[in-house]
């Protein structure tokens, strides 16, 4: 009943004071809170915060038309998809896996992509002496990033061996096709290829084939990943905050193409590395160069 009432309230012409920025947050999650904290650390601005998961429906077109914010910040994929329909207001996208520069067809949309530059990972594989890296991804979601990997990998002496899936059910079969073909697995932030249902299959492959898994989040270290190279959410927020500041100061969005995360963190699982005969110290040293 409460959800229904909240949904109806979102559709009503609520009276709100004028504000500069409409903040759309996909759901209540610590990752979004951390990024938003980073944004707010750069620039103080008046805002209205809408958490989309709190409502059955939100008439965003009406809110934009009546409130007339100067800018929309979209945190997460659902917020990004909703905000991209508001064509008359600049949108800054943060923490949205499916956002990449040039996507959305929006005339005034920019932001910080969630994917780290492939070179951050390729340097780690190179330090570990791994030359054949297996990657599984859904072309509908990861084809652009995989192309970037394939373009950059030869500079590091690495061959990217790619398998495509369109459903999580296909992951186990594609992993089987990589037996004896790869020195490592690279987990992408692809919610078709890497899910709760498929995670165990990657680490079973790792144990059976004695190859390390390099992941995009330290959350996978406890499952058996050897290394994680992950974004720094607070700094991604600060990057977005710098864009927000520039736009609120009157600069055009065309001067702010989509940015890649500028900082990353390396996390390791010493137990797994030792079991695979890899040196944690050399990986740490290589990442600091």
* One domain for residues 207 and 248: no
| Per-residue pLDDT tens over the stretch 150-160 | 999 999 999 99
Q: Is residue 283 part of a domain?
A: no
* One domain for residues 126 and 199: yes
Q: Sorting pLDDT into bands at 50, 70 and 90, what band is 98?
A: confident
* One domain for residues 26 and 75: yes
Mean pLDDT of 17-26: 94
Range of the domain at 149: 118-215
Q: Is residue 279 part of a domain?
A: no
Q: Sorting pLDDT into bands at 50, 70 and 90, what band is 190?
A: very high
Among 12-21, 66-75, 121-130, 181-190, the minimum mean pLDDT is found in 12-21
* One domain for residues 107 and 129: no
* One domain for residues 19 and 162: no
DSSP secondary structure string for all residues of the chain: -HHHHHHHHHHS-------SEEEEESS--HHHHHHHHHHHHH----EEEEEGGG-S---HHHHHHHH--SEEEEESHHHHHHHTT-TTS-EEEES-TT--TT-TT-TTEEEB-SSPPHHHHHHHHHHTT--EEEEEE-HHHHHHHHHHHHHHGGGGT-EEEEEE-SSGGGHHHHHHTTTTT-SEEE--S-TTTS-TTTHHHHHHHHHHHT--EEESSGGGGGGT-SEEEEE-HHHHHHHHHHHHHHHHTT--GGG---B--S-EEEEE-HHHHHHTT--HHHHHHHHT-
pLDDT for residue 106: 80
* One domain for residues 20 and 149: no
């Amino acid at each position: 009943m409460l959800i229904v009432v909240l949904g109806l309230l979102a559709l009503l012409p609520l009276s709100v004071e004028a504000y500069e920025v409409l903040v759309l947050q996909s759901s209540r999650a610590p990752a979004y809170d951390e990024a938003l904290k980073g944004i707010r650390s750069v620039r103080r601005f008046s805002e209205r915060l809408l958490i989309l998961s709190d409502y059955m429906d939100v008439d965003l077109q009406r809110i934009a038309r009546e409130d007339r914010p100067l800018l929309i910040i979209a945190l997460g994929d659902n917020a990004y998809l909703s905000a991209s329909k508001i064509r008359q207001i600049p949108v800054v996208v943060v923490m949205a896996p499916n956002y990449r520069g040039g996507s959305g067809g929006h005339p005034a949309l920019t932001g910080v992509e969630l994917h780290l530059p492939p070179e951050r990972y390729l340097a780690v594989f190179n330090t570990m002496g791994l030359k054949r890296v297996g990657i599984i991804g859904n072309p509908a979601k990861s084809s652009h990033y995989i192309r970037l990997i394939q373009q950059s990998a030869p500079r590091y002496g690495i061959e990217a061996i790619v398998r495509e899936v369109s459903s999580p059910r296909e992951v186990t079969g594609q992993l089987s096709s990589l037996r004896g073909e790869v020195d490592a697995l690279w987990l992408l932030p692809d919610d078709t290829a890497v899910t709760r249902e498929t995670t165990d299959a990657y680490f079973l492959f790792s144990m059976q084939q004695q190859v390390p898994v390099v992941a995009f989040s330290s959350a996978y270290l406890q499952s058996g990943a050897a290394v994680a190279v992950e974004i720094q959410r607070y700094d991604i927020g600060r990057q977005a905050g710098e864009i927000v500041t520039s736009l609120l100061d009157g600069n055009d969005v065309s001067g702010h193409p989509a940015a890649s995360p500028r900082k990353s963190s390396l996390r390791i699982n010493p137990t797994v590395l030792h079991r695979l005969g890899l040196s944690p110290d050399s990986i740490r040293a290589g990442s600091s160069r």
